[in-house]
Structure 1
């Protein structure tokens, strides 16, 4: 088992001494992510911009990659597929046609039906529906609200569980993680849909779990080493939890790598967001969240000194004299 250890025991890495460099990098990446989202925007999926959902039934479960390639060749935009029921029925989601003609949607659906019938003999059209802009707008609002409430709830929980400094540092680190994910999708142009919102919420959950482990150890060491300086105490706490942090991240990355390789295009965006979130979340837990506690003025509690016998006699003396 010693050969499998990635992080040796009793590490003594000085994470706090490079906190100013880490803060500068974090600030730069955060501003860059905001700028990229503001300039390039996000490639919103059908869930957020509206679109057409077509239901097609096949004689046998089709290969989704072949269905997607057949539909994408028609030039209506990137198709999002989902198998239903016994895997023979596939839902195909496409963006709303740019044409303002009344029959634009009907023509698009007819083109998809013809192409699929030619590629997959026996395929039959079931029905189609259109996602309106109002529904997509509600999905955007609810997705943003879910992310904001998750961050606020985590910050409040950390505040009450520990000290207010823990709540602020955790919120800052999680906001950084979320913005990194948004910046990644702005750069790559990958489709941002409800699956990515789920990935962002999962990233928040992973980040708070990682940070809570370190925060618990910091609070424990604050009670144990009351005379130790905060820099040394935080370095000690992070080093003590480092094997757990790294091994957890690597284990999840291995699972995500399998999804990225074998999961197909449907899970590609979700998996990419998760992998980025694990890397960024691990970095922010080690270099940002914990070191920020020093900047926020967190200090170990005062030593509880027990009264000595002499001091007790001095307090009794005046009463006896009285």
Structure 2
């Protein structure tokens, strides 16, 4: 380790940070149990109608016209271009729904409107997507655990997976508390959060493993502090540049990718925190030591006596 390297005492407040993480987890789990998630059309089922305009239109006016015509709980957003309007409604199976909405909106506009899509997603399909999404997430965590156990050691594997579960539960808690719509794009963002957080954790764990072999007189806490200090600038710069992009997506990307951007933003923030204070802290709780990473020396084979 370079003499100029400044060592921060990250593990000093580890008990306070552990208590903070437990509080966040309890809030998230409590909100998920009480409020649940506000599933979008992809999971609950419903109708989707896409209308093409010649000129950009006021989405608020479109929403008011639909609600006034007796379509409650309608979601109106642009889809790609500003002239493409996507309308989501509750579970109403009506083959003529697209034509009825087109006629309703055409009466409000002087420009020519075009019906581009009229689809219905049944609740059974939505339930299958929900189950497959959950199974996919569990499968990803299981494969990650096997990979880390092979690359590092079983304690590192358990610590990394527990840190990932911590991150995912808190992101889900944010969506439950704020009652933001949870759809397939948000599920994709959570899987991306798993990858992002795992990458950060592997970088930290790799340095911890290396320092356990280099800093032979240091204890586990000193090794953790040294490793986190060495990777701090990389962790912060990666997170900062990623957050800048996600803030721009959330503000200027429109409602189509708003949930995706919010999920990634929350995931990057909590993933950065967990890479520093959760992943390494879990290793200390699991009592990782140098002996876990350095194989014991092989015993010398006995030399056969000469006859």
Match of 1:270 in 2: 260
Choose the corresponding residue for 1:175, options 158, 165, 174: 165
1:71 is aligned to 2:81: no
Match of 1:289 in 2: 279
Match of 1:310 in 2: none
Choose the corresponding residue for 1:115, options 105, 108, 112: 105
Choose the corresponding residue for 1:150, options 120, 140, 144: 140
Choose the corresponding residue for 1:259, options 249, 253, 265: 249
Match of 1:34 in 2: 29
3-state SS, counterpart of residue 11 of structure 1: coil
Displacement of 1:116 after TM fit?
4.9
CA RMSD of aligned residues (A): 2.9
1:160 is aligned to 2:155: no
> Separation in 1 of the partners of 2:77 and 2:110?
16
Give a deviation string over 1:106-147, Cα, whole Å, max 9, x none.
Answer: 568624541255236200234522110111011101111121
Counterpart mapping for 1:1-322 below 5 A: 10-59=5-54, 62=56, 66-67=58-59, 70-71=62-63, 74-75=66-67, 76-79=72-75, 81=77, 83=79, 90-97=85-92, 106=96, 110-111=100-101, 113-119=103-109, 121-301=111-291
Q: Is the 8 A contact 2:29 2:169 kept in 1?
A: yes
- Cα 1:202–1:214 change in 2 (3 A) is same
Greater CA radius of gyration, 1 or 2?
1
> Separation in 1 of the partners of 2:169 and 2:35?
14
3-state SS, counterpart of residue 52 of structure 1: strand
Q: Is the 8 A contact 2:62 2:76 kept in 1?
A: no
> Separation in 2 of the partners of 1:189 and 1:123?
33
TM-score, normalised to structure 1, is 0.82
> Separation in 1 of the partners of 2:242 and 2:137?
22
Give structure 1 stretches of 5+ with no counterpart: 1-8, 308-314
Q: Is the 8 A contact 2:48 2:119 kept in 1?
A: yes
3-state SS, counterpart of residue 130 of structure 1: strand
> Separation in 1 of the partners of 2:22 and 2:196?
22
Structure 1 window deviating more from structure 2 (120-129 vs 18-27): it is: 120-129
Displacement of 1:197 after TM fit?
0.3
TM-score, normalised to structure 2, is 0.86
Give a deviation string over 1:167-203, Cα, whole Å, max 9, x none.
Answer: 1111111111101111101111111111110110111
Give structure 2 stretches of 5+ with no counterpart: none
Question: How many pairs were matched up?
Answer: 296
Q: Is the 8 A contact 1:70 1:119 kept in 2?
A: no
